[in-house]
């Protein structure tokens, strides 16, 4: 890159024009870099929001199923192991769904 010379009374209009174009190119490259960085940050923010939403929903579902499991086990103690199996399966499927969602975000 050539050195930018200050524009003064002795500078030619062609030199001024060349310097203006060079400055415009530098500014444009800088603006594009800033826009790309902002867009990448916006994308990452949206992905995190989506993951937070899905993870929160999964945790809420697992907690509700766990609570129901406990209540039903108190009512029917002989079904405790089966209720635990259903609850565990629900938790596992919720985790798998969260992992699948994360893979789809790439």
- Measured distance CA(76)–CA(86) in Å, rounded: 15
- Here the tokens at position 67 are 């609570």
Q: Give the length of the chain.
A: 106
Residues with Cβ < 8 Å from 71, sequence gap 6 or more?
none
pTM of the full structure: 0.67
Residue environment code for 30-49, b if the CB has 16+ CB neighbours within 10 A, otherwise e: eeeeeeeeeeeeeeeeeeee
Predicted local confidence at residue 5, as pLDDT: 59
- What tens digit of pLDDT does each residue of 15-73 get? 778 888 899 999 999 999 999 999 999 999 999 999 999 999 999 999 999 999 999 99
Domain segments of the chain: what residues?
A: 13-104
């Amino acid at each position: 890159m050539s050195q930018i010379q200050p524009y003064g009374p002795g500078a030619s209009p062609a030199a001024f024009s060349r310097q203006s174009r060079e400055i415009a190119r530098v500014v444009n490259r800088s603006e594009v870099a800033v826009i790309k960085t902002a867009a990448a940050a916006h994308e990452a923010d949206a992905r995190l929001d989506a993951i937070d939403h899905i993870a929160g929903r999964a945790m809420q579902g697992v907690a509700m199923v766990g609570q129901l499991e406990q209540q039903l086990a108190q009512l029917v103690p002989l079904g405790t192991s089966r209720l635990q199996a259903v609850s565990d399966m629900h938790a596992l499927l919720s985790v798998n769904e969260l992992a699948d969602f994360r893979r789809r975000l790439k």
